[in-house]
Amino acid sequence: MPVTEFELIQRYFSREGQPRSDVVLGIGDDAALLNPPAGQQLVIAIDTLVQGVHFPANTLPYGIGWKALAVNLSDLAAMGAEPAWFTLALTLPESSEAWLTEFSRGLFDLANQYGLSLVGGDTTRGPLTVTVQIAGYVPTGQALLRAGAGPGDRVFVTGSLGDATLALQLLTGQLPVPAQNYPGLLKRLNQPQPRIEEGRALGGIASCAIDISDGLLADLQHMLDASDVGAEIYLPQIPYSTKARQLLNRYPDIRNSLLSGGDDYELCFCVAPDKLQRLEQIAAENQFQFTEIGQVSDTKELRCLDAAGQVVEIGTRGYTHFAKDR
């Protein structure tokens, strides 16, 4: 049964989890009214998912709802921010109740993990497109930027890399293994877990940070460019999940794709030598998984080294929507 726009907003998007004291007025008026706390800076990010571009047409609506918010949370994580509210611009080909039920369930399952409020949005008809704008706070002057790395800083990543891009390769038949044998990889593609706690804890410790959405090498390069430095990355130290390692052992050719495929939503950050002890401390206290993968150099070049210390050329560096050769 199709629902009207008004019913749709009421039924699927007007349910708050825990009401927030900083939301004066949420959904229902012409605009939302919010009270940002004193002494904090507002941090805002926006990201769009387009069917067929950011997710395959047969992606389950639960995962679309989850991921639309997750990719935005990941940007706030990379700034070291605490997320607070979000808005949703939804373009739908039809108002299917079954689809909306699952989409909003995925969206709110993640929103409720962080006590986020959906405070407004827009609903239109057209090809399936989901835009989430997110807002949060960071103590004034404490945000983690892409610029700030200095020579001698160590380069770290959170979690493990490549699972999501492997899942996509399984789904599209690029690897001759049934995708359903790898539910863990599929979950990392459809339900990435943003590194909010890690990002917030890195304030005052990391010299810079970025979230990995377009592949490690591409996003690391952005951070190095912003910091006007280079880096050496030790390929044997890159963290992979057990499943990714199994596939890598069987199909060694996929290694480059793990570093240049996208959708990891891990953080990459740098830490100056005098802050390494504090980093170890917060990692131990919070059971954060941080892996050192290299070191910042003053060469302005990004070089990948193998176990023997030899430079390895890695081709494609990340996904781009408007590359010259596409």
What part of residues 112-131 is at the interface with ligand ADP (CB under 6 A)? 118, 120-123
Which two three-digit tokens encode residue 95?
A: 């108002």
**Min separation Cβ 120 and ligand ADP, Å:** 3
Which among Mg ion, ligand ADP, none contacts residue 118 (Cβ within 5 to 8 A by kind)? Answer: ligand ADP
Of the two residues 69 and 296, which places its CB atom closer to ligand ADP in the complex? Answer: 69
Which among ligand ADP, Mg ion, none contacts residue 83 (Cβ within 5 to 8 A by kind)? Answer: none
Q: Other CB atoms closer than 10 Å to residue 212's CB: what's the count?
A: 27
Which two three-digit tokens encode residue 29?
A: 């008026």
- Shortest CA distance to 303 belongs to which of 317, 318, 314, 319? 314
What part of residues 5-34 is at the interface with ligand ADP (CB under 6 A)? 9, 13, 27-30
| Contact status, residue 14 vs residue 27, Cβ threshold 8 Å | yes
Q: Other CB atoms closer than 10 Å to residue 196's CB: what's the count?
A: 21
Which two three-digit tokens encode residue 101?
A: 């039920």
Residue 55 interacting with ligand ADP (CB under 6 A): no
Rounded distance between C-alpha atoms, residue 326 and residue 316, angstroms: 13
Q: Which of 122, 298, 301, 306 binds Mg ion (CB under 5 A)?
A: 122
Rounded distance between C-alpha atoms, residue 97 and residue 103, angstroms: 10
Which among Mg ion, ligand ADP, none contacts residue 325 (Cβ within 5 to 8 A by kind)? Answer: none
Of the two residues 92 and 217, which places its CB atom closer to Mg ion in the complex? Answer: 92
Binding region for Mg ion (CB under 5 A) out of 110-118, 119-127, 168-176, 315-323: 119-127
User: Residue 274 — φ and ψ, nearest 5°?
Assistant: -75, -5
Residues near Mg ion (CB under 5 A) are: 122
Residues near ligand ADP (CB under 6 A) are: 9, 13, 27-30, 88, 90, 118, 120-123
